[in-house]
Each structure stands twice: as structure tokens, then as C-alpha cells.
């Protein structure tokens, strides 16, 4: 049974990876890394996890021995350890942003610091399996997409590939507060976020360059992007309302037909009625819906920001890297309400 390490195990994403892996039929968690809680039992830090209680949290990755390492760290941290992990033959799924942008100069512009491992950027595969799954299968280093890009790209990529829309592409996105991480900030702290809807990330959210980089790779027309995220008083979930100009007649039925054809073999994309976030929370699913709004269709996309937008998608990528069915350990139902 392949051994797995989770680095950043006590953050929200790290904890969600451990939760998903706790019921995975083939992966075995042997190492959990947390600088702030090193030496403690995982059972004492995360009593909700079943079957991983005897794992002792460690401080670093220098002695890490695993087949796959999941890195759930802030920007600038993964690039410090990825070269050493790859040299030791460990497959890596990075849930942070360090390997999502192929251009190191663009990374420096967006994140305000130089990229310390530009040599591995060409080796990194962007891990959106529904679009790039065949590339993921042969990868040793996967850049797990951001949560907003996952929800947005799954909704717009099939339409761009079919030349069905033109820009500007307007994405009005709303996310729960867990997307801001476990350390409260001036905006994500509960007293600040509980009774408001807060637009943020203007004039350019950090996920916008990531989305543009992928959009530019797609076969089809170049489209401009207008992306505005909002923080809403929920813990988990992302709902995107997406507006674009249809290039031909057909409206809702035409868009739906494109989605159903593009995702007919997908394990995790559902096309249907307007989604509710609880359907997606706790799952690896993306729910897509097309509705009429005046003279043009509007697209709705819903995911769990910690699930399909993070931890469960990382496990989906790891399944592919191991040559397994992508859905292993990821078939649980959503909450519903």
C-alpha cells in the first residue's frame, strides 16, 4: 500500500486531505507535517479523523519517506522542498500556487517574490483532471488548481473549445470563509464576515493570472476575463455566476449539450438545475447549470472550495498519478442541506 505524507497537516486544506485519505482504499497516511504542532498526536489535534490517530506530527520534510506528498502550504513554501522530494523519487501534489504559473516572472509579479525553483516549472502539470487528465497520469509534480479557477474553468473551457462564447468573460464568484485559511484575517474573522458580503481582490485577484494562463492554452478564441470574488458568511463552498456573449443561436439548450458531451465520461461534473452549495460540500463534484437571463444565458458553477477546489481534487490527481481509477476514495455523497 503506497505511503502518503501531508505537509501543512493542521491547516484547513491539510485537514481536509487527511479526512479524505482516512477512508481511501489504497493510500496509507504515514507522515503528517506541522511546524506549529510537531510532536503531538494527530488524534489530539484533529479528533474528527478516524483511523489516523496514532500518526505523530513531525516538523519538517528532510526525512520524509513516502510515495506521494501532498503540500498544503502558503505561497513560497512548496518551492523550498519540492526539489528535494523529487530527487528522492517522491511524487508531489502541490496545493499552493508555487507551480501553477509557468512563467517565473509572472509568479514574481503576482506574489511579490522571485521563484526559487524555476527549473521545475516546466515539469509541473496543471492538475485539472477533466481538462488535462492524460498529462497528470505521467506527472511527477502536479500543480493543484486554485478553488476559484477550478469552478470557473470547468464552466467555461468546453464553451471556449467549441467557440460558443466570446468575451468579456464576467465571473461573479462567492466563497465561504474557509478559503482564507485557518489564521483569521481582518476580513475573514467571524465578527467581520458573519453579517456581510464583501467583494475583494480588486483590481486583480491572485487567481486571475492563473485562469488567464489556462484560458490561453485552450483551443479556441482568446477571451478577456473580468473576475470579482466575494466573501460570504458561509464556511465552505463556491458559487460562480458567469456571463459571456454567445456566438451563435441555441441558448441554454446549446450550452447544455456542449457540457453533456464534454463531460459525458467525467466522474465528478454534474449538469442540471441551478445548484445548491450543500450538494457539493464534502464532495469532489462540480455542479453546472445554464439558465436564461434576459437575452443571454448565465452559467452557474458550484464546488466545495476545500474539496473539488482543493483537497479531494488533489487526491483525484494522485489517483491518476498512480495509474488508478480517478474516483477511488472520492465517491461520497454531499450534505444536501
**DSSP element (H, E) containing 228:** strand 225-231
Residues paired with 169 in a beta bridge: 225
For residue 224, CA distances in Å to 103, 121, 192, 325, 327 come to 19, 25, 33, 35, 33
Catalytic member of 147, 242, 290, 318: 147
Integer Cα distance of 15 and 13 in angstroms: 5
Q: What does DSSP assign to residue 188? A: T
All cell numbers assigned to 172? 461573479
Which of 65, 223, 208, 216 lies closest to 149, judged by CA? 208
147 carries an active-site annotation: yes
At 113, give phi and psi (nearest 5°).
-155, 150
Which of 327, 288, 330, 284 lies closest to 307, judged by CA? 284
For the chain, where are the alpha helices, taking DSSP H only?
12-21, 42-45, 78-87, 104-111, 129-137, 147-161, 190-193, 207-215, 251-262, 277-280, 311-321
Where in the sequence numbering do the catalytic residues fall?
Answer: 147
Amino acid at each position: 500500500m503506497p505511503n502518503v505524507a501531508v505537509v501543512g497537516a493542521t491547516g484547513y486544506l491539510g485537514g481536509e486531505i487527511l479526512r479524505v485519505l482516512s477512508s481511501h482504499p489504497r493510500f496509507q497516511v504515514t507522515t503528517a507535517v506541522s511546524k506549529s504542532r510537531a510532536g503531538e498526536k494527530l488524534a489530539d489535534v484533529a479528533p474528527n479523523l478516524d483511523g489516523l490517530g496514532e500518526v505523530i506530527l513531525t516538523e519538517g520534510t528532510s526525512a520524509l519517506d513516502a510515495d506521494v506528498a501532498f503540500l498544503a502550504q502558503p505561497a513560497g513554501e512548496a518551492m523550498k522542498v519540492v526539489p528535494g522530494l523529487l530527487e528522492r523519487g517522491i511524487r508531489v501534489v502541490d496545493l499552493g500556487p508555487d507551480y501553477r504559473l509557468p512563467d517565473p516572472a509572472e509568479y514574481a509579479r503576482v506574489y511579490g517574490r522571485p521563484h526559487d525553483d524555476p527549473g521545475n516549472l516546466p515539469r509541473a502539470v496543471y492538475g485539472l483532471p477533466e481538462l488535462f487528465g492524460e498529462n497528470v497520469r505521467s506527472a511527477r509534480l502536479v500543480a493543484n488548481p486554485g478553488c476559484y479557477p477550478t469552478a470557473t474553468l470547468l464552466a467555461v473551457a468546453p464553451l471556449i473549445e467549441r467557440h460558443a462564447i466570446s468575451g468579456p468573460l464576467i465571473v461573479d464568484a462567492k466563497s465561504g470563509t474557509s478559503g482564507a485559511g485557518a489564521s483569521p484575517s481582518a476580513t475573514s474573522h467571524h465578527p467581520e464576515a458573519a453579517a456581510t458580503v464583501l467583494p475583494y481582490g480588486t483590481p486583480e485577484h491572485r487567481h486571475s493570472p492563473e485562469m488567464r494562463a489556462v484560458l490561453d492554452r485552450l483551443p479556441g478564441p482568446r477571451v478577456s476575463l473580468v473576475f470579482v470574488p466575494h466573501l460570504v458568511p458561509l464556511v465552505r463552498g463556491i458559487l460562480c455566476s458567469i456571463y459571456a456573449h454567445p456566438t451563435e443561436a441555441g441558448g441554454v439548450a446549446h450550452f447544455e449539450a456542449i457540457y453533456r458531451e464534454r463531460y459525458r465520461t467525467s466522474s465528478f461534473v454534474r449538469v442540471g438545475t441551478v445548484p445548491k452549495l450543500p450538494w457539493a460540500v464534502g464532495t469532489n463534484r462540480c455542479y453546472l447549470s445554464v439558465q436564461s437571463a434576459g437575452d443571454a444565458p448565465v452559467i452557474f458553477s458550484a464546488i466545495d472550495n476545500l474539496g473539488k477546489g482543493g483537497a479531494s481534487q488533489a487526491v483525484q490527481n494522485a489517483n491518476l498519478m498512480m495509474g488508478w481509477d480517478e474516483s477511488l476514495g472520492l465517491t461520497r455523497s454531499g450534505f444536501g442541506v
